[in-house]
Amino acid sequence: MPGEKKHKEKKKKDKAPQELPEHLEKQRKYVICGHDKNYHDFADNFSITVNSISDNGMTMEFDLVGVDPAVANALRRILIAEIPTVAIEHDEVLAHRLGLVPINVDPALLEWRGAEDAASEANTVVLRLNVRCSKDAAGGVVNESVTSDQFEWLPAGSDLPDETGCRFTEGSSQAALFEGRPAPASVDGSILLAKLRPGQEIELEAHCIKGVGREHAKWSPVATAWYRLHPEVALLRPVAGEEAAELAEAVPAVFELQPDGELGVRDVRSKEAERSLERVRRLLEEERWRGVVEVRKRKEHFIFTIESTGALPAAELFKQALAALAGKAERLERRL
């Protein structure tokens, strides 16, 4: 009907979105293609500050300042997928579990082994596992749990070269290669590999080779690598009197009263303060605080955390990731 059609047209007009301010409309519609970021400005603003390294060296937190998310994410992906480690190959049934056991062998000591390459002392570390479950004189069960500390390193190579195809040069040994270093073994000796019953036995050789996480997760050197934006709480105007006292009492980990009676903001990077940011956000649900306090995050300041599996210290992983990222940039520059 004509009247109904007019009503629908009017309804569509009523729903038409309002025009945004010019500068916002421009950002919504266009990608601005200007000059490249100035290298000298980047160099002046870029910084890395190491905040903490755990006592065992396996967890590290640092600030990465002056880069955009693409660079931070590239570093994270390199850590997960492109830093080499050494792990057990191949993966079938029990071997799949064995493959995920981190091995404390510096990958720099081994050569890469291709699909067609023969196993040798240059590219393979051989571990043996020989465990039999039995009952002792008192009736207790011995070796019910098979754990990763029961691996034995074979520096002279495989005991079964004809069956495994792993042949070390006659008379050679990896003992000299690992002289002054820890013998190849599991990073953590308490990893459970299997459960046995009396009469059952596991006898195997595990061949460890060099690889990267993009081939298989077992070669990933990090348990996790992640980052978050640097949080800030800002006061949009001076706050004193009852308002200051109320905020300081509501979120003491974030706000504090200054000697002059005005409200101050603490450093919100501490774990306790970061947990309190949610309480600040809840305060902002009340209209009266929205023009007073603002929670924000800096776009080019990342708090980065690396947790190693133990194969390599976190600081060493970070150095290798930076070197890999620099190598990618150099290769790209040569191809341009």
What residues make up the domain containing 146?
A: 85-215
Residue 153: CATH number of its domain:
2.170.120.12
Of 322, 333, 328, 331, the C-alpha closest to 64 is: 322
- The answer to whether residue 179 is domain-embedded is yes
- Give the global pTM: 0.79
Report yes or no on 256 lying in a domain. Answer: no
Predicted pLDDT at 96: 85
The angle formed by the CA atoms of residues 319, 323 and 327, to the nearest 5 degrees, is 170
Residue 290 lies in a domain: no
- Domain assignment present for residue 97? The answer is yes
Asked whether residue 157 is assigned to any structural domain, the reply reads yes
Whole-angstrom Cα distance, residue 111 to residue 124?
8
* pLDDT digit string (tens) for the chain, length 336 residues: 555 555 555 555 555 556 788 888 877 777 665 556 677 888 888 999 999 999 999 999 999 999 989 999 999 999 999 999 999 887 566 888 899 999 999 999 999 998 889 899 999 999 999 999 999 988 899 999 999 999 999 999 999 888 888 888 887 889 999 999 999 999 999 999 999 999 999 999 999 999 999 999 999 999 999 999 988 899 999 999 999 999 999 998 899 999 888 999 988 877 777 778 888 888 888 888 888 999 899 889 999 999 999 999 999 999 999 999 999 999 999 998
Number of domains, the chain? 1
pLDDT computed for residue 130 by the predictor: 96
Q: Report yes or no on 11 lying in a domain.
A: no
- Neighbour order of strands in the sheet with 47-53: 47-53, 59-65, 293-308, 222-235
Long-range CB contacts (within 8 A, 24+) of 255-264: 262/238, 263/235, 263/238, 263/239
**According to the model, what pLDDT value does residue 1 have?**
53
Alpha helices in 94-172 (DSSP H): 94-99, 161-164
pLDDT of residue 226: 95
Q: What is the pLDDT of residue 33?
A: 58
In a domain, residue 206? The reply is yes
How many whole angstroms separate alpha carbon 258 and alpha carbon 262? 5
In a domain, 44, yes or no: no
Asked if 76 and 225 touch (Cβ cutoff 8 Å), the reply is yes
Closest C-alpha to 248, from 236, 232, 263, 266: 263
At 301, list the tokens.
């300041």
Q: What is the pLDDT of residue 267?
A: 83
